[in-house]
Amino acid sequence: MVTKLLSSATLNKTIGDRTVEADNIVTYVYNICQSGSVTKLVNVRDVALTYSHAVMMRMLFGQRHFDKPAKDGGLGPKEKEHVDAVYRALDCLFGFSVADYLPFLRGWNVEGEEKDVREAVDIINRCNDPIIRERMHLWREKGGKETEEDCLDILITQKDDQGMYLFTFEEIRAQCKDVNVATMDNTMNTVEWTIGEMLNHQEILEKATKELNTVVGKDRLIQESDIPQLNYIKACCRESFRLHPPNAFWPPHGAREDTTLAGYFVPKGSQILVSRPGLGRNPKTWEKPDAFKPERHLVDHSRDSVDVTLMEPDMGFVVFGTGRRGCAGPKLGTTMIVMLLARLLQGFEWTLPPGASQVELISANTNLFMAKPLLASAKPRLAPGLYPQILI
């Protein structure tokens, strides 16, 4: 995953796929704004999911849809089914089950989670398997293509030192599910919460928009090469990660040996659960921990200026994780999050829905996503010619 699928070379090779979907999502929102004489509200969660799923599909499978494309540029019926299944699986991954602690209960579906996750995985497999089988047939029985064009090609063509194919169908299928599950929740959650916070703090929205006007302007769309200069927008993303992680805990880790942590003895074999809100809202670490203040991530007294990243190696809060069991793709995750947020802010003026005085910033009960999808008014702020045609 690290050396092949998410290497710098692969990310550079697939920049066109991500740019196409960054273009598509801007036009998708533009079409919503232009449809009818009555101002339509934009479902920010739907927009973020559409972008995240489309980028994942292009990079993994080399195509945007499983079968028929949606006419409006959004998710088609099969894509929606796939996304729903991914999030059902995620809810089970981060949930607590007594069978995790009493292994003799496994297989009895005591709390219903085993049935839920199996149903979700079956749906994901039904969507993915035909593409994987067809591509394996192409590479391993019909001679393949001139070059490896996407991550699935890379998985299928890997060979060991004896010249034998490295992965079986079952292993490739499992790796594809890992990619499906890992690429959507952070982007969707961070962008939705950030825009929600900005709508409640207009001065932050104006400052982010001003940065885009200065760095990029209004005569072209932001590109990935602009991201290093968008420090304030990255600071807004960091603040969302700190305040609004997608789930309350990291997935459980295991203690490989006896250790002492913060004065507590932790025996070998213990399950370690890291509280994401506990870190991000710790008053010993963060001044006014419940306030949304992106500027706190711009301060570095040791330097005249600071280059903001989304990584947090000191564990002041959890972004992509760190260490040997950290996320394999922090660079891709950073790029997707910042690119989507910046494109939405550059392309549109965002305001509260008519009659609303603020966004209700309430977390859901089962995870830490917004309890209700964020609806907002959007008005195009660029010349019409800058909103490209959607590429299927």
CA 367 to chain centre: 15
d(CA 195, CA 41): 14
d(CA 79, CA 380): 27
d(CA 343, CA 338): 8
d(CA 3, CA 117): 29
d(CA 201, CA 236): 12
DSSP 351: E
Reading across the β-sheet that carries 348-351, which strands appear in turn? 41-43, 375-380, 348-351
H or E element, residue 114? helix 113-141
d(CA 67, CA 89): 23
Cα-trace Rg, the chain:
22
d(CA 368, CA 257): 32
Q: Which two tokens stand for residue 69?
A: 């494309």
DSSP 275: B
CA geometry: angle 8, 14, 15, nearest 5 deg: 90
33 labelled as ligand-binding? no
Q: Work out the number of other CB atoms within 10 angstroms of the CB of residue 78.
A: 16
Cβ within 8 Å of residue 167, ≥6 positions away: 155, 156, 158, 175
Residues making up the annotated binding site are 327
Residues making up the annotated binding site for heme are 327
